Structure 1
Amino acid sequence: MDLAHVAICVADLDRALEFYGALGFEESHRFTLDGVENVYVGKPGSDSALQLRYDPDRTTPVAPSRADTDHVAFTVDDVEATFQTALDAGGAAVLEPTEIEPAGAYAAFVEDPEGYTLELYRGL
C-alpha cells in the first residue's frame, strides 16, 4: 500500500498553486465536483500528490489546526534551500532547520499561506 494523496482545503487556490509551484510542484490534473475545484499537484515523476480543494461557496473559514492535523511531511534534497524557498514564497517559519536525532532526520517546519504546517526533511 502506498500513499496516493493528501487533500487540504484552501481559501485561495491561486495563492496555493503559486506557493506549491515555487517549491517545484506541478499540476497533474484537476476536476470540479459539486462546485468544488480539486487540483492535484506533485513532483514530476512521483505517484503521490497534494490535492488542493477550493470551494468558492464555503461559508466557514479554512482554519488548519495542529491539534487536528499536525503536519504534512515532504522529503527534500536540501532542507535549508527548500526552507528559504518556502519563506520567500509566503510561508512562515515554525522551526528552522535542525537535526532531530530520535527521528533520524534533519528537518525544518514551515506554515504554508493557508496555515498548514509542512515538514521539509532528509534522513541523517
Structure 2
Amino acid sequence: MDLAHVAICVSDLDRAMDFYGDLGFEETHRFTLDGVTNVYLGRDSDGEADLQLRHDPDRTTPIAPSRADVDHVAFTVDDVDDTFETAIDAGAAPVLEPTEIDAAGAYAAFVEDPEGYTLEFYRWL
C-alpha cells in the first residue's frame, strides 16, 4: 500500500497555488464536484499528486488548522535550508529553523503555510 496524497482545505485557492508553486509543486489535474474545486499538486515528473487542495467558495466555517488534529505534513527534500528559505520568501511563517533531530535521524525544518498548516521539510542524516 502506498500513500497517494494528502488533502487540505484552503480558503484562497490562488494564494495556495502560488505558495506551493514557489515550492516547486505543479498542478497535475483538477476537477470540481458539488461546487468544491479539487486541485492536485505534485513535485515529480511522473504526474503523481502529493497534495490535494480543496476549495469550497460556499464554506461558511473558517478553516482553522490545529496541530491538535493534524500535526504536520512532511516532505523529503534535497536541501532543507534552501527549501526553508524558499517557503519563508513565499509567505510561510517559521516554526522551527533547520536543525538536526538526532532521535529521528533527520535534518528538518518546520514552517506554517498561509492557511496555517504546519509543513516539515526533511532529509535523512
Q: Is contact 1:3-1:48 (8 Å) kept?
A: no
Query: Structure 1 vs Structure 2: percent identity of aligned residues?
Result: 78
In the TM superposition, 1:61-80 aligns within 5 A as 61-80=62-81
Shift of 1:48: 4.1
Q: Scaled by the length of structure 2, what TM-score is found? A: 0.97
Q: For this pair of structures, how many residues does the alignment match? A: 124
Match for residue 106 of structure 2?
105
> 2:117 matched to which residue of 1?
116
Distance 1:44 1:100 in 2: 26
User: What SS class does the counterpart of residue 84 from structure 1 fall into?
Assistant: helix
Give, as a single letter, the amino acid of the residue that structure 1 aligns with 2:26.
E
Distance 1:73 1:38 in 2: 20
Deviation at 1:45, TM superposition (A): 2.5
| 3-state SS in 1 of match to 2:120 | strand
Over the residues paired in the alignment, what is the CA RMSD in angstroms?
Answer: 0.8
Q: Which sections of structure 1, spanning at least 5 residues, go unmatched?
A: none
Q: 1:10 Cα shift?
A: 0.1
Q: Secondary structure at the match of 2:20?
A: helix
Q: Which residue of 1 aligns with 2:9?
A: 9
2:41 match: 41
